[in-house]
Structure 1
Amino acid sequence: MPLSEHEQRLLDQIERELYAEDPKFASTVRGARFHRPARRRRIQGIALFVVGVALLVVGVMVKALWIAQVPLASVFGFLVMFLGVVLAMMSGRHPAGEARGGRAGVKSKSSFTQRMEERFRQRFEDQ
């Protein structure tokens, strides 16, 4: 569900305040390091797909790799291609917190929320 204009403005304001107050934390949270594993998996999936295509073609061309009229290298190549496509497609599906699945993501999310609330309270108590 998209945010309303008011909610979007509040979110932008909170983000600006976070950058102003703690730029190191803000850059860590927003940094590209969270996107690297997804990009790496996508590249690995594409590479697997290319290797699978090569195996598929080699398996059809080289009759010595056939066993009982079945091109085993081609079948294996197809499976590698399929795995590569699945890996590439699933790399960007879940954010980092949901990638663990189940309750682990919920616990880390709630502990993060608790830490942020505690920091928020400390700011007002220190003033």
Structure 2
Amino acid sequence: MPLSEHEQRLLSQMEQQLLNDDPKFASAMKGSVRRGGGSAGRLLLGGAGILLGLVLLVVGVAYQLVIVGVLAFALMLGGAAWAISSPRRPSGPGPRGVVRGDGSTGPRPSGKGGRGTSRGSSSFMERMEERWQKRRDEGGGR
């Protein structure tokens, strides 16, 4: 059932609000949407692996070959995993790094252990320290 014009307008307003409030989350969600390119081929190949594994499993049970049954099960499991997994994106041109508050991108900040410290994490720590100080001050004045 298609959305009415009012519902479409509300949805686009919510999308715009999300983009304005949290552009990093919005861009991550846009990237996680499955696209049709290549997914049909993955499903067919995964389904073929499952069917071949099923046939091998029947053969292994019929001839009482445990190793064939184990390999068939592994093939079915691999086929199912291949079918439901998303294809990896090639690392080509395009923005990489951190999405800033205004929606622009920049290089990932370097830091210890390969993790960058962003403005959001330092302000979080500052808020935690302020809360701690406030609690200490309120508790000591009793």
- Report TM bin, short chain: 0.3 to 0.5
TM-score, reference length from structure 1:
0.35
Question: Which of the pair has the greater relative contact order for Cα pairs under 8 Å at 6+ separation?
Answer: 1
The structure richer in helix per residue is 1
TM-score, reference length from structure 2:
0.33
